[in-house]
Amino acid sequence: MKNEKLSIIYFEEIDSTQKYLVEKIKNAQLNPPVCVWTELQTNGIGSRNNKWIGKKGNLFFSFSFDKDKFADVPLQSLSIYFGWIFKKTLNELGSKALMKWPNDIYLIDEKPKKIGGVITQLLSDKVICGIGLNTKFSPDDNFGCLDINVKNDKILYRFFENLNNKRWNNIIKEFKLEFDKFKHNFGISGNLAEDGSIENNKKRIYSRR
């Protein structure tokens, strides 16, 4: 991926970084590459139109790049691509975070607990991705929070450093090793294919952005 100057916009509080960025790009008020982030999101969205409950102090951000920057990534697997780079960023900082196929960040202690998630959408020729992470607080006992003490902006900037020049074929090979090791912890069966889908009983299951 070609390096370009990324504009980063911070809000103390916002309803949804994803909704804000989509609206601004639709109205040509912001253009990629751009990122919007906050530590308090009051009406965030998750995958499959679920609501992502936010608490002050956690990390929420959305970013956009031109689609051709990720020409080697299968479109249906963009969330896998971004999620794996984000998960590896957390590992570099000392976390034991894992990625559950296709777009969730987990910790496994006594049982798997979700600490974050990734959603991706296409808007014409632009990719828009949103990531939420419970860095400080979890909304309830069904969720977890990050296992290291690190500032949100450090995670954010390290992620964008790692986003440069990451090729899909290398990422899917790395993810497959973790997928095979931990898929039973998540109740997933089948094999991970090169395009990011799961091959199960001669059928292919594709991720939903």
Q: What is the CATH number of the domain that holds 159?
A: 3.30.930.10
Q: pLDDT tens digits, residue range 81-129?
A: 999 999 999 999 999 999 999 999 999 988 899 999 999 999 999 999 9
157 inside domain: yes
Summarize the confidence of residues 132-140 as an average pLDDT.
Answer: 91
| Residue 141 pLDDT greater than 70, yes or no | yes
Instruction: Flag whether pLDDT at 202 surpasses 80.
Output: no
Total-model pTM: 0.92
CA dihedral 152, 154, 155, 156 (to 10 degrees): 90
β-strands 7-11, 198-200 pairing: unpaired
How many structural domains compose the chain?
1
d(CA 102, CA 98): 11
Residue 3 pLDDT exceeds 60: no
Rounded distance between C-alpha atoms, residue 40 and residue 132, angstroms: 11
Alpha carbons 113 and 105: distance in angstroms, whole number: 9
Band of pLDDT at residue 1, cut at 50, 70 and 90: very low
Query: Using CA atoms, how far apart are residues 23 and 29, in angstroms rounded to an integer?
Result: 8
> Residue 191 domain-assigned?
no
Domain, as residue range, for 151: 7-166
